[in-house]
Structure 1
Amino acid sequence: MDNQFTRQERDNSARLAELLHHNTDWIWEVDADSRYVWVSEMVTNQLGYTPEQVLGRTPFDFMAPGETARLKKTFEEILASRQPFSGLINRNVHADGHVVILESSGIPLFDENGTLTGYRGTDRDISQLGERVLQLESIYQNTPLALCMINRKGLLVEANKAMGELLGQDAATLPGKSLEDIVPDWHLLLQQDFMLLDSGEDIASKEVCLHGRYFYIKPLPVNDAGGHVSGISAAWVDITDRKIAEQKLACANQTLLQYAERDHLTGLFNRRYMDERLNNEITRAQREGSSLSLCMADIDFFKRYNDTYGHQAGDQVLRGVAEALRGGLRPADCVSRYGGEEFLVILPDTNGEGALAVAERLRERVQALAIEHESSPLGGALTISLGVMTWDASQLVCNIQSTGHISAELISRSDAALYRAKQQGRNRVVVA
């Protein structure tokens, strides 16, 4: 009976040895120093070396140039973690000189005291696919586009060199780190993306600012074998230069808009802007049933002033009068240089009594400038005349429906009032 069991054990051992040695994968065992202590005969098929030639050496002794530098840190991290690993792709040199690409997987071995004694694992020849995988990995790592993948826990799974540079860290140290610790603002956006994906919706691209630079982020879902979202991959594009150009363009457009709306001499709004503003105020007054008043002002005897003091002095007067008018108005009011020495003031939500008070205040402010005007028959000081028109949208029914026609009528009536102020001796206010 004992002999029968002994023969059966020998048969099982022989069968196991045959399975190990003739398995398509190369089976190996290394000690804590990464030196081979046992290898299957399949190593000869894969690398061209006999088991005896491999024992006592390390995986790095068979790797292609550059692979040791690329993978040594990874191996050290595997040993330090004392965890299983899989899918580690590496280039090796066959005994005849050609390159063999292997995919390595392994599990840790411990003695009865829990001390790590080494690893046991397999190497699979994936040369036909491996070169393509390594090429893709090289492209991924070396592209100038910052790429990364994050799992549902918010941990970085993959990050290329450009991503490391973007975050100011070594890309090799990023996997396993929490995005919340590195980029808190984007972590919140990412959680929202997962919620959208779980509800069956698409996730949109976004722009973020990080370390003083602007980035365009294009996120895409990563699905597991079951079709469930397991993570999000993202490409980060530095758009700082574009953003700066957009900001400069916006400033330039704003400047152009100001030039289009402003009188270059006085800084007041110009006639083009005022016509549009008046139409808007008429529409608002109609909608709210409120009053709208206009003041048309004109500098008295301005031609004589230019003839006496010159056009440069005349320009100074225009600027001074403009500032006096602007300083006498409320924030909601608006004043423009409507013609050569003519100014138009729009007074929203202002009735006739209020408009008259404003007009008198403006007249007094200009007179208070005490600008010498020796050719004026009104006492030797510069003055203005004003015509006032008030339109009560809640009471007046206009048979002209067009806002443009209403605007023209209001301008005409305030101008007519200004004409009467001049006829009556100037330096006064006349109400239409």
Structure 2
Amino acid sequence: MNSTFSTEIANNPDLMHVVFESLPEPTFLIDKSGTYVEAWGGRDRKRHHDPAAVIGLNQYQVLPSDKAIWFSQVIVDVIDSQTAAELEYALDPKELPCFEGTEGPQQVQHFSALVIPLPNTSLVLWTVRNITEFKLALDKLAVQQIELERLTYIDHLTQIYNRYALDVLLPEAIEVAKLKLIGSAVLMIDIDCFKEYNDHFGHLQGDEILKTLSHAIRTWAKGDDLCFRYGGDEFLVFIPNVTESESLAHAQTLQEQVRQLAIPHPSSTVGELLSITIGIQHCRIVPQEMDAEKFISIADKALFNAKGRQRGSIHQLSENGKAPD
């Protein structure tokens, strides 16, 4: 190689040692048995312990056994194949006795390493980069992403899924039900005489009722149920893996739990307390042609029929969207 650097190295071999020592990240010379022969660089004690502390030690004397086995195999593979390898790993200083009582990081550190074979030798250069700050930044970003998705999917008032979430999550849930060949139901839930409640108590108190009902729905719902605020005072719940009788019994339980809240509603035409009307569409096996829009439409029709016949009731349509005989 004809370059200024290579010429300088050829004329002054000790210069390579100076170069390695000046690097902010450590580099280790390790033989095939896993023994640290030399170490350079890595002077930043906030990111690394003194690399020289491991010189003369075998990896089994330095590292936890699982890491020692892994790293030893990597070294053998790199030397035998004469092909460099890259890997990422984490080390807890508390599990590295050779650094006990020495200056360096005290928390778990994350590293990426490039293991390079030295031609015609049984040695490798193990160059290390501390990526802990990068990993922590990724973790923070992931948490922020989860929070952003939560804010995007969750109705701010009721703290259950909103219509945007419904458009994303309900079609997926229906497709899963089709694949698993399981019965599923959609419940449409409406607060009886909610406009009259708002007119009597005011919209701020009406918002409190929406919060109370949504909390009741979340408490009542099972683990796999999907609960949405459909709009205004209407809520939608998708219940997978449920029979027709179970979906009806589940709806009756919710109605009873709402009654037990004993929320006064003097303007209601149903009774003295707040009540809900529920429409149900159940499919024993969700048909391939059934999509979210059709599922909701039939459940909404059941709700409409229930409100037309008797508010505070439950109405269930058959799979073809007709009232049962």
CA 1:330–1:201: 2 relative to 1, 3 Å = farther
Q: Distance in 1 between matches of 2:12 and 2:77?
A: 34
CA 1:203–1:265: 2 relative to 1, 3 Å = farther
Please tell me the residue identity of whatever aligns with 1:136.
Answer: M
Q: Distance in 2 between matches of 1:164 and 1:230?
A: 29
Asked if the contact 2:79–2:124 (Cα under 8 Å) also holds between the matched residues in 1, the reply is no
- How far did 1:354 drift? 0.9
Q: Which residue of 2 aligns with 1:409?
A: 294
Larger RCO (alpha carbons 8 Å, 6+ apart): 2
Q: Distance in 2 between matches of 1:421 and 1:201?
A: 76
Please tell me the residue identity of whatever aligns with 2:20.
Answer: Y
Q: Secondary structure at the match of 1:338?
A: strand
2:87 to 198, 201, 206: 206
TM (normalized to structure 2)? 0.83
How much is the aligned-residue C-alpha RMSD, in angstroms?
2.3
Q: Which residue of 2 aligns with 1:223?
A: 119
Q: Please tell me whether residue 193 in structure 1 is matched to residue 74 in structure 2.
A: yes
Q: Distance in 2 between matches of 1:234 and 1:199?
A: 15
Asked if the contact 1:164–1:170 (Cα under 8 Å) also holds between the matched residues in 2, the reply is no
How many pairs are equivalent? 293
CA 1:164–1:373: 2 relative to 1, 3 Å = closer
1:306 to 195, 198, 223: 198
Q: Which residue of 1 aligns with 2:150?
A: 258
1:422 to 295, 304, 307: 307
Q: Highest CA radius of gyration, 1 or 2?
A: 1
TM (normalized to structure 1)? 0.63
Q: Distance in 2 between matches of 1:321 and 1:366?
A: 7
Please tell me the residue identity of whatever aligns with 1:431.
Answer: Q
CA 1:315–1:202: 2 relative to 1, 3 Å = farther
Asked if the contact 2:82–2:117 (Cα under 8 Å) also holds between the matched residues in 1, the reply is no
Between stretches 266-275 and 159-168, larger displacement belongs to 159-168
CA 1:377–1:168: 2 relative to 1, 3 Å = same
CA 1:198–1:145: 2 relative to 1, 3 Å = closer
Q: Please tell me whether residue 174 in structure 1 is matched to residue 65 in structure 2.
A: no
Please tell me the residue identity of whatever aligns with 1:206.
Answer: L
In structure 1, stretches of 5+ residues that fail to align are 1-127
- How far did 1:135 drift? 2.0
CA 1:412–1:383: 2 relative to 1, 3 Å = same
Aligned ranges for residues 354-369 of structure 1 at < 5 Å?
354-369=246-261
CA 1:256–1:129: 2 relative to 1, 3 Å = closer
Asked if the contact 2:40–2:51 (Cα under 8 Å) also holds between the matched residues in 1, the reply is no
Please tell me the residue identity of whatever aligns with 1:196.
Answer: D
Q: Secondary structure at the match of 1:285?
A: helix
Q: Secondary structure at the match of 1:176?
A: coil
Q: Secondary structure at the match of 1:431?
A: strand
Q: Which residue of 2 aligns with 1:82?
A: none
- How far did 1:131 drift? 5.7
Please tell me the residue identity of whatever aligns with 1:419.
Answer: F
Write out per-residue CA displacement over residues 228-257 of structure 1, whole angstroms, 9 at most, x where no aligned residue.
x51221111111211111111111100001
Q: Secondary structure at the match of 2:42?
A: helix
Q: Secondary structure at the match of 1:279?
A: helix
- How far did 1:133 drift? 1.7
Q: Secondary structure at the match of 2:231?
A: coil
Asked if the contact 1:333–1:348 (Cα under 8 Å) also holds between the matched residues in 2, the reply is yes
Please tell me the residue identity of whatever aligns with 1:193.
Answer: V
Q: Please tell me whether residue 141 in structure 1 is matched to residue 21 in structure 2.
A: yes
2:133 to 225, 241, 248: 241
Q: Distance in 1 between matches of 2:206 and 2:299?
A: 25
Between stretches 410-419 and 230-239, larger displacement belongs to 230-239
Percent identity between matched residues is 29
Q: Please tell me whether residue 162 in structure 1 is matched to residue 28 in structure 2.
A: no
Q: Which residue of 1 aligns with 2:276?
A: 384
CA 1:312–1:201: 2 relative to 1, 3 Å = farther
Aligned ranges for residues 3-152 of structure 1 at < 5 Å?
132-152=12-32
- How far did 1:330 drift? 1.6
Q: Distance in 1 between matches of 2:171 and 2:316?
A: 21
- How far did 1:170 drift? 6.6
CA 1:202–1:269: 2 relative to 1, 3 Å = farther
- How far did 1:335 drift? 1.2
Q: In proportion to residue count, which structure has more strand?
A: 1
Q: Distance in 2 between matches of 1:272 and 1:415?
A: 18
Please tell me the residue identity of whatever aligns with 1:425.
Answer: Q
- How far did 1:331 drift? 0.8
Q: Secondary structure at the match of 2:238?
A: strand
Q: Which residue of 1 aligns with 2:176?
A: 284
- How far did 1:288 drift? 2.4
Asked if the contact 1:308–1:375 (Cα under 8 Å) also holds between the matched residues in 2, the reply is yes
- How far did 1:157 drift? 0.9
